[in-house]
């Protein structure tokens, strides 16, 4: 895994958001908002162009937009659906249990950012359940 991926705002998010059925549906716009606030969006887009990735939203652009960019044309921006305006909360700073993602409390597994504290709590609960059963 390349260094920039560990800093991606999408790390740990549902990958289906970045592979919507239509590039105009709500998930596509959610993905674009995540990319808009991502500190490594440019590196992600560069990687998508270099590897000729033809699927999903990468670096804030759809496959069609990336193809246009690669061919020297200006990528067309889609129309934003109603109800999706507003501030983006794309940069996840906490896990689903509200533990902060810090370098000391975060590990990457299968390309996803995970919380060490949650892992520890799951392990402790599993050990306690095993001790009670014995």
Q: In this structure, which long-range contacts are made by residues 114-121, counting pairs with CB atoms below 8 Å and at least 24 apart in sequence?
A: 114/12, 121/97
Q: In whole angstroms, what is the distance from residue 132 CA to residue 113 CA?
A: 32
Asked whether 75 and 57 are in contact (CB, 8 A), the reply is no
pTM: 0.53
Question: pLDDT tens for residues 108-127?
Answer: 766 667 889 999 998 888 88
What the block records as the tokens of 7 is 């800093």
Q: In whole angstroms, what is the distance from residue 116 CA to residue 118 CA?
A: 5
Question: pLDDT tens for residues 20-69?
Answer: 887 777 778 888 888 888 888 888 888 888 888 888 898 888 888 888 88
């Amino acid at each position: 895994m390349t260094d920039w991926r560990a800093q991606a705002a999408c790390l740990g998010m549902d990958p289906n958001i970045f592979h919507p059925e239509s590039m105009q549906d709500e998930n596509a716009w959610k993905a674009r908002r995540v990319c808009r606030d991502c500190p490594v969006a440019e590196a992600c887009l560069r990687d998508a162009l270099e590897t000729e990735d033809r699927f999903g939203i990468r670096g804030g652009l759809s496959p069609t937009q990336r193809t246009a960019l690669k061919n020297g044309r200006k990528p067309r921006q889609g129309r934003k659906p109603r109800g999706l305006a507003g501030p983006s909360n794309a940069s996840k700073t906490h896990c689903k249990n509200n533990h902060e993602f810090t370098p000391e409390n975060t590990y990457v597994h299968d390309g996803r950012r995970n919380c060490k504290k949650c892992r520890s709590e799951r392990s402790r609960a599993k050990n306690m359940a095993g001790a009670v059963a014995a």
